[in-house]
Amino acid sequence: MHKSLNRLALQLGSNHFLKGSTVISYETPVAEVRGTKLKALGKFSRTTTKHIASAAHLLGLDIERNPTNQVFDWFANGAQIRRADSLTIGASRLVLQKLRSGLDLGRAIAASWPWFSKKDRALVLARLTDESDRTEFLEKAEQYQRLNELGLC
């Protein structure tokens, strides 16, 4: 639908994100979606392994493990990573449900739009820099909202 929306990150949980086909733990790419599998990019810490497992569960994918130990920066206990390009966890989970039903990212975001917070809406609209893209997206979001009100979406 809109290529500019592909630059959005989905927050899967605390400190882990999906950006495009890459799972990011804290600030480190740790897995890639490849077909029907989530391919781990190495062997990581227990927390990062949990992040990979969570992403696989949310995406409905099996994990392809990689036994190679990886070294990456450690964060202090209790660190919270926030990404300016990421939807909130709630909005991300809505979008993931729509992605699992077969919608592409743009349509999944449009279908989830009625439940987005002001912050999430502002983030999406900021990515749609072309006025025609913005208009098309908002029309699609309105169509999905009408279908939802009829119980068809």
**Residues whose CB is less than 8 angstroms from the CB of residue 58 and which lie 6 or more positions away in sequence, other chains included:** 12, 93, 96
The token pair at 86 is 């990421």
**Given a cut of 60, is residue 114 above it in pLDDT?**
yes
Which region among 70-84, 94-108, 120-134 has the lowest average model confidence (pLDDT)?
70-84
| DSSP letter assigned to residue 1 | -
Q: What share of the chain is helix, strand, coil (3-state, %, to 5)?
A: 45, 20, 35
- The β-bridge partners of 125 are none
Taking alpha carbons only, the member of 72, 88, 81, 73 closest to residue 9 is: 88
pLDDT at 5 over 80: no
pLDDT of the residue at 134 = 86
Cβ contacts of 61 within 8 Å, gap of 6 or more = 33, 36, 37, 38, 55
pLDDT the model gives residue 11: 93
For residue range 8-44, list pLDDT tens digits in order: 889 998 889 999 899 999 888 999 999 999 999 988 8
Pull the structure tokens for residue 51. Answer: 């992040």
Coil, strand or helix: which one is 4?
helix
Task: Give 40-98 as a DSSP string.
Answer: ESSB--HHHHHHHHHHHHHHT-EEE----B-------TT-----TTEE-HHHHHHHHHH
Top pLDDT among 151 and 104 is at 104
The pTM score is: 0.70
Using a 10 angstrom Cβ sphere, with 0-12 exposed, 13-18 middle and 19 or more buried, the burial of residue 51 is buried
pLDDT tens digits, 45-96: 888 999 999 999 999 999 999 888 766 655 555 566 778 889 999 999 999 9
Residue-level pLDDT at 80: 67
Q: What is the pLDDT of residue 73?
A: 59
Answer yes or no: is pLDDT of 1 > 50: no
